[in-house]
Amino acid sequence: MNAPLPKHLLPEIQQRETPTELIDALKARFAERCSTALVVREQHGRDESSFALPPPSAVVFAQSTTEVAEVVKLASQYSVPVIPFGVGTSLEGHLLAVQGGISIDMSHMNKVLSINAEDLTVTVQPGVTRKQLNEEIKSTGLFFPIDPGADATLGGMSATRASGTNAVRYGTMRENVLALEVVTASGEIIRTGTRAKKSSAGYDLTRLMVGSEGTLGVITEITVKIYPLPEAISAAICSFPSIEAAVRTTIEVIQMGVPIARVELIDHNAVRMANAHSKLGLREEPLLLMEFHGSPGSVKEQAELVQEIASGHGGQAFEWASTPEERTRLWTARHNMFFAALQSRPGCRAISTDTCVPISRLADCLLDSVAEVDASGIPYFLVGHVGDGNFHFGYLIDPEIPEEREIAEALNQKLVHRALSLEGTCTGEHGVGLHKMDFLVTEAGDGAVEMMRTIKRALDPKNIMNPGKIFSL
Amino acid sequence: MNAPLPKHLLPEIQQRETPTELIDALKARFAERCSTALVVREQHGRDESSFALPPPSAVVFAQSTTEVAEVVKLASQYSVPVIPFGVGTSLEGHLLAVQGGISIDMSHMNKVLSINAEDLTVTVQPGVTRKQLNEEIKSTGLFFPIDPGADATLGGMSATRASGTNAVRYGTMRENVLALEVVTASGEIIRTGTRAKKSSAGYDLTRLMVGSEGTLGVITEITVKIYPLPEAISAAICSFPSIEAAVRTTIEVIQMGVPIARVELIDHNAVRMANAHSKLGLREEPLLLMEFHGSPGSVKEQAELVQEIASGHGGQAFEWASTPEERTRLWTARHNMFFAALQSRPGCRAISTDTCVPISRLADCLLDSVAEVDASGIPYFLVGHVGDGNFHFGYLIDPEIPEEREIAEALNQKLVHRALSLEGTCTGEHGVGLHKMDFLVTEAGDGAVEMMRTIKRALDPKNIMNPGKIFSL
């Protein structure tokens, strides 16, 4: 069902052979936890991106850091790629075996190793998902705020420098990962960072690994910050006469320094899809879905200020989600947006954009792009972590109609170049993966990308760590 | 007056020769802006650390990125070290020409290039100091919070991943640098990051450069976040019967999630020195100097809560700094602490420690160390960004008495090993420089330090960028 990947997106596909000796060695070591069954390999050879490629040669289900190190050492011996796999929610083809190789499934490494409530930190294995983590720390009165739409693993979220709806207040994985354990390309186990809140001790290897998309090492342990559950939480919906009105409201809220916890733009298409999928019954107009965290007094202050700003832009009176259940229902609908959209056009695939611009440029970037996609006739939805200047168009293409992909890619091209001209980035939170390698060069410049390549070559001389992602070598 | 550097701290001093041809070429290009005068070289061959070493062979006063690139290219041609110099406030010997070479003085590159008030960002040249920046953006109602004690340059602060008293609320240079321009070891000019608030576009070169202490490139432009001046600011002093009481108060405040903007521990020694230097007339007991930012309501809420916690630990009633002038006077005294301490023992040098531990370990780490230094008889002061778990002992040694340095180094050794055993770091904000190379290996492990070395070798194959710092090669 997947569309074949256009050639220009993959300039350097070169499947490497996986020698039988390696497969034999892995099977001897891991027995039934090394699978070569087609169905298992296929499941590990795709993600939520719209690309189709041959699956990896084998999948190893690792249960410990030592085991990961063993797999990497064996793969290194044969110069065969290794691709860490969490739960497969990447949107950018990160998990695809573009050069063949071994998928290391990390989902069995899913223990919360230690909760340090008094320091607001928690250490987990990489297969722990964000919802699992929040479930396991619920009794402490603390929570982990980073929430990409999918229930991704913390390993995957670290590898892609993920964020989500709470990032406007709590930051992204960049700000929230304190320390890592990593298996390097030679199969060595290293630690980066400590549980101290800050440090000036040498190169920031933690942040080099965060966002490196598996190309520099396999993340096997993660220490992240957690936060006290706010004394008061209020969520509200505010409908607007236009996307522009909603965006102008957001810009003003951020520029006023309101410590809003979440401010999500949902366009009328997305509202319609969410209504159908999650039975919400919302007015099908552009809206902001907001959340305020703090003491009761501060939440009240924030909400009043934002309501005032919204009214100035034609926003309706806030509709409050008064119970925790109602709040959860709204945010679940927001997180299920991607799937609601897929359901709205049976058989379609979604191509998700991910530009992020300085907040003052948000209206310029967004409104022209809305006009373009409206004119194209491609069905789409628009959602955005607009408080961060980050938004996603989802172009819903029919994979059987190559022209639709071409139109969608052309729209994305225009959008990205617009965002870059406005001092933004091609990817706010999804990562580069396979899809944005050209954009990265345009954004960062040849010199900076060459510096990334130099680091990659130095740390992974055999190019076995998730090769073919971020940049060509 | 400086103490000679003990041999074990500098295992690999090897002054490289600076060929006359290079000096001639620099003089031909930069005329009077290339100085070989001894007084100028000596001024650029030292910092606030207690080390004495031969000065660099020449100092070039750069006026543009292109000029920096020219110097680096020339130096690279002769494999001669280059050392970027801001205003010389490093505490760890970062600016010392341990292997000889050329000092590039960046202080003339001191323009604020653009203020983007609507995005809360500002782009500056590296020679801009933190006070200058705040002066230049004052009219916008915004401010830059990062405040190491000295009026350091933003280039130096980026290079050492500096922080200061506001970090507990606003983060460190790690969290506040959005983008950089960097001259690489080959003299190429690259850009890292954008003005977008977040990005997943490839390796995080920005954060690799932040804290790299000049060893990977020369930072020639910096984009940082700035913040709206809070509607309300209140500063208060609270005296305690013991250091332990002050520390326990701090731990509780942080664990409650109070968004306090500053919480500084000042021990009775430091209070005495500050009283003498800044005529403060404070009660000579351990105290917390605090600041609350927010709306008037939120500031009141925070202060009441903290007063309640403090009272529970025997803290006195808050003494408020009610006017902005009084507040400035207190914080200036705090920032001048280092100099107040030097003045308290004429002719002394200060060896400053910089450990940082998870907040729950703060009392364990601090109290035992206080007992040790009290027992040693070395005069000292203790100040701390205790909300971050970071604190500084200043051991005031007589440079003419080698035993005093030995005792101080032994105290620091014990302190660092204690901090590391409590999951902390040897340096919260000063950097590794010359003084903490051994500690870094203990803290990060051979594997991680070897990864740093591998990156350094790959990006600076001739080892000309501030060589001999962070690690030996």
CA-nearest residue of chain A to B433?
Answer: A202
In B19-161, which ranges are continuous DSSP H helix? 20-30, 38-43, 65-77, 130-137, 154-160
**Residues of A numbered 401-420 whose beta carbons fall under 8 angstroms of chain B's beta carbons: which are they?**
none
Residue A163: DSSP 8-state: -
Tally the residues of chain B. 473
- For residue A32, give Cα distances in angstroms to A36, A40, A59, A62, B360: 10, 12, 10, 11, 44
pLDDT over 90, % of chain B: 89
Say which residue the tokens 């979220």 belong to: A157
The per-type count for chain B, helices as H runs and strands as E runs, is 16, 20
What confidence tens digit (pLDDT) does each residue in A450-469 have?
A: 999 999 999 999 999 999 99
Interface A–B counts its CB contacts (< 8 A) at 268
The yes-or-no verdict on residue B425 having pLDDT over 90 is yes
Strand runs (DSSP E) across A145-230, as ranges? Answer: 177-183, 189-192, 218-225, 227-228
Q: Could you tell me if A49 and A433 are in contact, meaning their C-beta atoms sit under 8 angstroms apart? A: yes
Residue by residue, DSSP assigns A430-442 as S--TTTTHHHHHH
Question: Are the beta carbons of B447 and A184 separated by less than 8 Å?
Answer: yes
What confidence tens digit (pLDDT) does each residue in A308-347 have?
A: 999 999 999 999 997 899 999 999 989 899 899 999 999 9
Would you state the structure tokens that stand for residue A417, as one six-digit string? Answer: 């170049």
Name the pLDDT band for B186 (thresholds 50, 70, 90). very high
Say which residue the tokens 């994985």 belong to: A173
Does any CB of chain B come closer than 8 Å to the CB of residue A255? yes
Name the pLDDT band for B4 (thresholds 50, 70, 90). very low
Asked which of A257-266, A320-329, B47-56, B216-225 is least confident by mean pLDDT, the reply is: B47-56
- For residue B1, give Cα distances in angstroms to A110, B48, B140, B344, B402: 58, 13, 45, 17, 12
For residue A205, list chain B residues with Cβ-Cβ distance below 8 A.
Answer: 444, 448, 451-452
Residue A31 CB: number of other CB atoms within 10 A?
Answer: 8
Does any CB of chain A come closer than 8 Å to the CB of residue B362? no
Q: How far apart are CA B385 and CA B408, in angstroms?
A: 21
Q: How far apart are CA B393 and CA B414, in angstroms?
A: 12
Judged on CB neighbours under 10 Å (0-12, 13-18, 19+), B336 is: middle
Would you state the structure tokens that stand for residue B119, as one six-digit string? Answer: 């995005």
The yes-or-no verdict on residue A472 having pLDDT over 50 is yes
Name the pLDDT band for A35 (thresholds 50, 70, 90). very high
Three-class HEC string of A215-262? CCCEEEEEEEECEECCCEEEEEEEECCCHHHHHHHHHHHHHCCCCCCE
The yes-or-no verdict on residue A136 having pLDDT over 90 is yes
Would you state the structure tokens that stand for residue A295, as one six-digit string? Answer: 């003491």
Please state whether beta strands B51-52 and B3-4 pair in parallel, antiparallel, or not at all (unpaired). Answer: parallel
Q: Could you tell me if A123 and A113 are in contact, meaning their C-beta atoms sit under 8 angstroms apart? A: yes
What confidence tens digit (pLDDT) does each residue in B96-133 have?
A: 999 999 999 999 999 999 999 999 999 999 999 999 99
Does any CB of chain B come closer than 8 Å to the CB of residue A472? no
- For residue A380, give Cα distances in angstroms to A150, A377, A394, B35, B211: 19, 9, 5, 63, 43
Q: How far apart are CA B174 and CA B158, in angstroms?
A: 8
CA-nearest residue of chain A to B205?
Answer: A208
Mean pLDDT of A246-251: 95
> A165, A163, A45, A179: which is closest to A100 by C-alpha?
A45
Which are the contacts of A144, defined by CB distance < 8 A and separation ≥ 6?
Answer: A122, A130, A133, A134, A137, A224, A226, A227
Is A133 strand, coil or helix?
helix
For residue A459, list chain B residues with Cβ-Cβ distance below 8 A.
Answer: 451, 454-455
Average pLDDT, chain B: 94
- For residue A55, give Cα distances in angstroms to A34, A159, A429: 15, 21, 25
CA-nearest residue of chain A to B229?
Answer: A257
For residue B160, list chain A residues with Cβ-Cβ distance below 8 A.
Answer: 200
- For residue A26, give Cα distances in angstroms to A156, A188, A214: 24, 18, 20
> A22, A70, A99, A37: which is closest to A218 by C-alpha?
A70
Query: Which residue has better confidence, A10 or A64?
Result: A64
For the question of an ipTM over 0.90, the answer is yes
Is B186 strand, coil or helix?
coil
The yes-or-no verdict on residue A10 having pLDDT over 60 is no
Judged on CB neighbours under 10 Å (0-12, 13-18, 19+), A465 is: buried
Which are the contacts of B246, defined by CB distance < 8 A and separation ≥ 6?
Answer: B238, B240, B265, B286, B287, B288, B313, B315, B386
Q: Could you tell me if A90 and A466 are in contact, meaning their C-beta atoms sit under 8 angstroms apart? A: no
Residue by residue, DSSP assigns B301-364 as HHHHHHHHHHHHTTPPPPEEE-SHHHHHHHHHHHHTHHHHHHHHSTT-EEEEP--B--GGGHHH
- pTM comes to 0.96
Q: How far apart are CA A341 and CA A329, in angstroms?
A: 17
Which of A199, A295, A429, A471 to probe by mutation at the B interface, max B CB count within 10 Å?
A199
Q: How far apart are CA B351 and CA B359, in angstroms?
A: 24
For residue B359, list chain A residues with Cβ-Cβ distance below 8 A.
Answer: 118-119, 197
Name the pLDDT band for A12 (thresholds 50, 70, 90). low
The domain segmentation of chain B, as residue ranges, is 112-228, 232-421
What confidence tens digit (pLDDT) does each residue in B269-317 have?
A: 999 999 999 888 999 999 999 999 998 988 999 999 999 999 999 999 9
Q: What is the pLDDT of residue A117?
A: 94
Q: What is the pLDDT of residue A445?
A: 98
For residues A431, A437, A442, A446, the Cα torsion angle rounded to the nearest 10 degrees is 110
Query: Which residue has better confidence, B15 or A208?
Result: A208
Average pLDDT, chain A: 94
The yes-or-no verdict on residue B176 having pLDDT over 70 is yes
**Residues of A numbered 296-355 whose beta carbons fall under 8 angstroms of chain B's beta carbons: which are they?**
297-298, 301, 354
Q: What are phi and psi of B236, to 5 degrees?
A: -140, 150
Residue A16: DSSP 8-state: P
Which are the contacts of A245, defined by CB distance < 8 A and separation ≥ 6?
Answer: A286, A313, A314, A315
Please report, as a single letter, which amino acid is at residue B201.
A
Would you state the structure tokens that stand for residue A111, as one six-digit string? Answer: 């223990």
Q: What is the pLDDT of residue A385?
A: 97
Q: Report the b/e string of B2-32 with b at 16+ CB within 10 A.
A: ebebeeeebeeeeebebeeebbebbbeebee
Question: What is A112-228's CATH number?
Answer: 3.30.465.10
Please state whether beta strands B232-239 and B287-294 pair in parallel, antiparallel, or not at all (unpaired). Answer: antiparallel
Please report, as a single letter, which amino acid is at residue A187.
G
Mean pLDDT of A230-236: 94
Q: What is the pLDDT of residue A149?
A: 87
Question: Are the beta carbons of A207 and B202 separated by less than 8 Å?
Answer: no
Question: Are the beta carbons of B448 and A198 separated by less than 8 Å?
Answer: no
The yes-or-no verdict on residue A4 having pLDDT over 70 is no
Q: What is the pLDDT of residue B158?
A: 98
Name the pLDDT band for A5 (thresholds 50, 70, 90). low
Residue A108: DSSP 8-state: T
Strand runs (DSSP E) across B177-330, as ranges? Answer: 177-183, 189-192, 218-225, 227-228, 232-239, 262-266, 287-294, 319-321
For residue B390, list chain A residues with Cβ-Cβ distance below 8 A.
Answer: 196-198
Name the pLDDT band for B11 (thresholds 50, 70, 90). very low
Question: Are the beta carbons of A163 and B201 separated by less than 8 Å?
Answer: no
> B212, B222, B254: which is closest to A451 by C-alpha?
B212
Name the pLDDT band for B5 (thresholds 50, 70, 90). low
Distance from CA of A60 to the nearest CA of B (A): 25
> B93, B83, B11: which is closest to B51 by C-alpha?
B93
The yes-or-no verdict on residue B257 having pLDDT over 50 is yes
Question: What is B232-421's CATH number?
Answer: 3.40.462.10
